[in-house]
């Protein structure tokens, strides 16, 4: 990893530790890169500036993890689904979204695409990382007996 990229990664984690989710905005074309990259993925410019992002977004695709893709190190954050989220500021990312389980997944599915989610900073193994949560977790109505 180059020195410049290392510095970007460090700044990103320092910001997370301070409770801020930051991205890099291209000063030439306006594209926002998150997680932050050295250069702009859209136009190739390296004229990038730090911005804080809201963390709000919309889930545009979701799949429940199969036993095969279930990652043991993610045991403590279950239930979650694997999702494609479009962040308010523009980036479209593959993330984990908490709050979706086998019982309520159909209720969530009915509102797809565009289910509102937000980013949450969680500590993991000595550093902070970003995970997404449903803005509203649908309650499954209890079956009448």
Site for Zn ion in 17-36 (CB under 5 A): 26, 28-29, 31
Asked whether position 43 contacts Zn ion by CB under 5 A, the answer is yes
Closest CA to 26 of 5, 11, 47: 47
Binding residue for Zn ion, selected from 6, 14, 45, 111, defined by CB under 5 A? 45
Exposure string over 31-53, b if 16+ CB within 10 A, otherwise e = bbbbebeebbeeeeeeebeeeeb
Number of residues that bind Zn ion (CB under 5 A): 8
Min dist. Cβ of residue 27 to Zn ion (A): 8
When the beta carbons of 30 and 113 are compared against Zn ion, the nearer one is 30
By beta-carbon proximity to Zn ion, the closer residue of 29 and 92 is 29
Among 11, 38, 39, 42, binds Zn ion (CB under 5 A): 42
> Closer CB to Zn ion, residue 47 or residue 54?
47
Scan residues 91-120 and list those touching Zn ion (CB under 5 A). none
Binding site for Zn ion (CB under 5 A): 26, 28-29, 31, 40, 42-43, 45
């Amino acid at each position: 990893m180059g020195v410049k990229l290392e510095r970007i990664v460090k700044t990103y984690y320092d910001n997370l530790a301070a409770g801020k989710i930051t991205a890099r905005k291209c000063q030439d074309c306006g594209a926002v890169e998150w997680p932050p990259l050295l250069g702009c993925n859209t136009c190739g410019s390296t004229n990038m500036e730090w911005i804080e992002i809201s963390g709000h977004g919309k889930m545009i695709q979701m799949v429940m993890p199969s036993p095969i893709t279930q990652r043991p190190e993610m045991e403590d954050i279950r239930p979650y689904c694997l999702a494609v989220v479009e962040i308010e500021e523009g980036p479209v990312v593959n993330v984990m979204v908490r709050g979706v389980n086998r019982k309520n997944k159909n209720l969530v599915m009915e509102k797809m695409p565009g289910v509102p989610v937000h980013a949450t900073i969680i500590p993991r193994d000595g550093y902070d990382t970003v995970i997404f949560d449903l803005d509203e977790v649908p309650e499954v109505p209890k079956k009448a007996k």
